[in-house]
């Protein structure tokens, strides 16, 4: 019986056969523990539906997804892997590998296409550490009808997505993600199961749709405001917001009208607080224009 791709023996055999190595610029770290990828695939709820994977590498997670899903669509930026994936995934006819930068694709169009054929789409990936946040926000902001997103990322970034208000890890990422999805931790992953071994541990988290998502008219404006209020964590929200507006009087006016203490810090504010602050700002600016 052939060993799974996510085993040290099979990984080394594939890398040696194709004279391959992990490319640091693409954030590549190959998983060499079969139980980990099997658990990720099992928890992403991809049975008999379509799954999109970002960065399949040599196919360790892809193999487990292909055993469960009706269709697996992978986006890979490293064209050195064409022959590798043709070889490692040869027995799976439900896998399509697209050699394109995921950040450049029309995700909404692709998800709609897959939903038409397979009724449901999930996303599952071991994300490159250096580009985790841009990938997730591309997914969030696409408004694509994705049932859930199950991704492995470095522990420090996962902690921010999972953080609750008024904790040290709570930041702009925590709030912006909550506009679209709830999230939960699936499992912690030691750095020792990768080849090459990274310097940090990982966490697999799952984002699942908000049942009663808040309708926000100007999302980009809200997100810019939130990021501005978190720009320097050691500063009060007043100091950050004042810098964001470049106007101390309006900063004082907006915060007071939104019932946010000038001495508060951004990590003590909820999504509702920032929505209220944005509403006050918009109302003031509208009055100024008239």
What is the Cα–Cα distance from 119 to 241, expressed in whole angstroms?
44
> What confidence score (pLDDT) does residue 106 get?
97
Say if CB 110 and CB 73 are below 8 A apart. yes
Kind and range of the H or E run holding 288: helix 271-289
- pLDDT per residue over 242-260, tens digit each? 999 999 999 999 999 999 9
Range(s) of the domain holding residue 285: 219-289
- Residue 182: inside a domain, yes or no? yes
Half-sphere exposure (Cβ direction) of 281: Cα atoms closer than 13 Å: 20
Mean pLDDT of the chain: 91
248 and 191 together in one domain: no
Q: What percent of the chain has pLDDT over 90?
A: 69
Say if CB 119 and CB 145 are below 8 A apart. no
What is the Cα–Cα distance from 250 to 234, expressed in whole angstroms?
21
- Residue 3: inside a domain, yes or no? no
Please name the residue that has the structure tokens 């050691």.
234
Please name the residue that has the structure tokens 């669509």.
73
- Residue 42: inside a domain, yes or no? yes
139 and 224 together in one domain: no
Closest CA relative to residue 286, chosen from 235, 230, 218, 240: 218
Answer yes or no: is pLDDT of 2 > 80.
no
204 and 275 together in one domain: no
> What confidence score (pLDDT) does residue 155 get?
94
Taking CB atoms within 8 Å and a gap of at least 24, the contacts of 270-273 are 270/165, 270/175, 271/175, 271/178, 271/179, 271/214
93 and 189 together in one domain: yes
CA 163 to chain centre: 15
CATH (domain of 188): 3.40.50.150
Domain total in the chain:
2
DSSP-derived secondary structure for 169-192: T--HHHHHHHHHEEEEEEEEE-GG
CATH (domain of 254): 1.10.8.100
Mean pLDDT within 3-23: 84
- pLDDT per residue over 222-234, tens digit each? 999 999 999 998 8
204 and 244 together in one domain: no
- Residue 214: inside a domain, yes or no? no
Domain boundary at 153, 187, 209, which? 209
> What confidence score (pLDDT) does residue 25 get?
56
What is the Cα–Cα distance from 75 to 204, expressed in whole angstroms?
19
> What confidence score (pLDDT) does residue 23 get?
63
pLDDT band per the 50, 70, 90 thresholds, residue 161: very high
48 CB-contact burial (10 Å; exposed 0-12 / middle 13-18 / buried 19+): exposed
- Which tops the pLDDT comparison, 32 or 268? 268
Kind and range of the H or E run holding 159: helix 155-162
123 and 227 together in one domain: no
Say if CB 89 and CB 62 are below 8 A apart. yes
Domain boundary at 209, 243, 275, which? 209
Say if CB 129 and CB 81 are below 8 A apart. no
Helices and strands counted in the chain (H then E): 12, 9
- pLDDT per residue over 190-208, tens digit each? 999 887 788 889 999 999 9
Question: Which segment of 38-47, 101-110, 212-221, 261-270 scores lowest on mean pLDDT?
Answer: 212-221
> What confidence score (pLDDT) does residue 211 get?
74
Domain boundary at 209, 233, 255, which? 209
87 and 115 together in one domain: yes
Mean pLDDT within 165-182: 90
- pLDDT per residue over 44-76, tens digit each? 999 999 999 999 999 999 999 999 999 999 999
- Which tops the pLDDT comparison, 238 or 209? 238
Cα–Cα distances in angstroms (integers) from residue 108 to residues 30, 115, 176, 229, in the given order:
29, 10, 19, 30
Kind and range of the H or E run holding 13: helix 8-17
- pLDDT per residue over 76-134, tens digit each? 998 989 999 999 999 999 999 999 999 999 999 999 999 999 989 999 999 888 889 99
């Amino acid at each position: 019986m052939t060993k799974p791709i996510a085993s040290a023996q099979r990984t080394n055999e594939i890398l040696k056969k194709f004279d391959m190595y992990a490319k640091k610029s693409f954030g590549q770290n190959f998983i060499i523990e079969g139980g980990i990828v099997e658990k990720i695939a099992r928890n992403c709820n991809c049975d008999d539906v379509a799954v999109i994977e970002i960065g399949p590498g040599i196919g360790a997670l892809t193999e487990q997804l292909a055993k469960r899903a009706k269709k697996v669509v992978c986006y890979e930026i490293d064209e050195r892997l064409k022959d590798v994936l043709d070889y490692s995934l040869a027995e799976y006819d439900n896998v399509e590998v697209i050699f394109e930068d995921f950040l450049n694709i029309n995700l909404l169009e692709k998800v709609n296409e897959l939903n038409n054929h397979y009724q449901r789409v999930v996303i599952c990936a071991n994300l490159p550490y250096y580009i985790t946040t841009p990938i997730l926000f591309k997914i969030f902001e696409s408004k694509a009808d994705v049932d859930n997103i199950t991704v492995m990322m470095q522990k420090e970034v996962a902690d921010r997505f999972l953080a609750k208000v008024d904790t040290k890890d709570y930041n702009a990422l925590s709030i912006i993600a909550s506009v679209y999805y709830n999230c939960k931790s699936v499992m912690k992953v030691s750095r020792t199961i990768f080849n090459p071994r990274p310097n940090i541990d990982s966490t697999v988290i799952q984002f699942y749709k908000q049942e009663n998502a808040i309708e926000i008219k100007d999302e980009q404006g809200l997100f810019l405001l939130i990021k501005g209020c978190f720009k320097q964590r050691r500063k009060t929200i007043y100091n950050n917001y004042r810098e964001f507006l470049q106007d101390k009087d309006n900063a004082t006016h907006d915060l007071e009208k939104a019932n946010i203490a000038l001495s508060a810090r951004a990590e003590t504010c909820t999504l509702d607080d920032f929505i209220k602050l944005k509403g006050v700002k918009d109302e003031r600016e509208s009055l100024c224009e008239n």
